[in-house]
């Protein structure tokens, strides 16, 4: 009887093991799969798949790389793939940035950002401002005729421009400046002011009022007259003089 009972118990044990075995194998496989997935996720959190940025910044850019990084922080933080168009748009919103070139570094997810700095052609002051401490009262005109008004103002020896704001206004203003300078030749424009009339100052300090009409004819008349006056008036006096060219057949001159 005892032997029969043991035999029955062994059979039950074997049957139970047979039933449990598939579940044990499935559990082991599931555990291995979970471990593999966990390792993959850990790798992704690391630097293996995480995208990186390589910067190439114009030496003339007067702001630090960290400023640019802060501008696009929300677009690059903990990312495995970047939106190049949004990064480009955000960077070019920074006034000192003329162009931002964002390109892939295949086959990785990394990108290269090349920054071109604005090139200052003229310093700019807004004639609508009572003083230059007010917002949007000081800035620069680029060599493309674009007005940009950064928070950081730097020293520049470029000519001073004084006019109203507005991109179209500035574009025309810059074209007129270039035209005036081309006509003046070796006489360098120190400042150009446009209120209701045009005023030029040539180096070192020759002030010329052109008015609001026939401005190019008046400039030509000034240049011819100045050339003749150089033979009659001392250079030290003539270089610090004031010309008003608004008279129909002549001009007024004052000098020290």
Check which CATH number belongs to the domain holding 131 and give it: 3.40.50.11690
What are 53-89's pLDDT values in tens digits? 899 999 999 999 999 999 998 887 766 677 889 999 9
Chosen domain end from 87, 117, 147? 117
The pLDDT assigned to 9 comes to 47
Cis amide leading into 7 (omega within 30): no
87 and 37 fall within a common domain: no
What are 135-161's pLDDT values in tens digits? 889 999 999 999 999 998 999 999 999
What's the domain count of the chain? 3
From the list 65, 116, 68, 60, the residue with the least C-alpha distance to 91 is 68
Strand partners, 115: 57, 100
24 and 131 fall within a common domain: no
Alpha-helix residue ranges (DSSP H) falling in the chain: 2-45, 65-71, 73-76, 84-92, 167-184, 215-229, 235-238
The pLDDT assigned to 105 comes to 76
141 and 233 fall within a common domain: yes
137 and 251 fall within a common domain: yes
Domain of residue 71, residue span: 53-117
Q: Which residue positions in the chain have pLDDT lower than 70?
A: 1-29, 38-51, 78-80, 107
Provide the whole-model pTM.
0.76
b or e along 95-107 (b: 16 or more beta carbons within 10 Å of the residue's beta carbon)?
Answer: bbbbebebeeeee
The pLDDT assigned to 31 comes to 73
The pLDDT assigned to 149 comes to 96
The pLDDT assigned to 228 comes to 94
140 and 246 fall within a common domain: yes
Q: What is the rounded CA–CA span in Å between residue 12 and residue 6?
A: 10
The pLDDT assigned to 7 comes to 57
Q: What is the rounded CA–CA span in Å between residue 118 and residue 124?
A: 14
Q: What is the rounded CA–CA span in Å between residue 103 and residue 111?
A: 6
């Amino acid at each position: 009887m005892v032997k029969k009972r043991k035999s029955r118990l062994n059979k039950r044990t074997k049957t139970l093991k047979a039933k449990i075995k598939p579940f044990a194998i499935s559990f082991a496989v599931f555990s291995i799969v979970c471990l593999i997935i966990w390792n993959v996720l850990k790798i992704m959190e690391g630097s293996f798949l995480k995208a990186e940025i390589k910067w190439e910044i114009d030496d003339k850019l007067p702001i630090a790389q960290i400023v640019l990084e802060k501008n696009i922080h929300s677009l690059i933080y903990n990312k495995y793939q970047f939106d190049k168009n949004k990064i480009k748009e955000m960077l070019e919103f920074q006034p000192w940035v003329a162009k931002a070139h964002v390109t892939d570094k295949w086959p990785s997810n990394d990108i290269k950002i090349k920054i071109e700095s604005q090139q200052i052609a003229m310093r700019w002051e807004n004639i609508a401002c009572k003083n230059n401490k007010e917002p949007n009262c000081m800035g620069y005109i680029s060599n493309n005729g674009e007005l940009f008004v950064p928070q950081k103002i730097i020293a520049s020896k470029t000519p001073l421009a004084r006019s109203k704001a507005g991109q179209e206004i500035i574009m025309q203003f810059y074209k007129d400046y270039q035209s005036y300078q081309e006509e003046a030749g070796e006489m360098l424009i120190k400042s150009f002011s446009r209120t209701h009339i045009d005023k030029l100052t040539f180096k070192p300090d020759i002030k010329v009022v052109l008015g609001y009409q026939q401005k190019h004819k008046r400039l030509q008349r000034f240049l011819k007259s100045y050339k003749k006056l150089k033979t009659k008036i001392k250079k030290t006096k003539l270089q610090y003089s004031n010309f008003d060219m608004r008279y129909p057949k002549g001009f007024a001159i004052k000098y020290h």
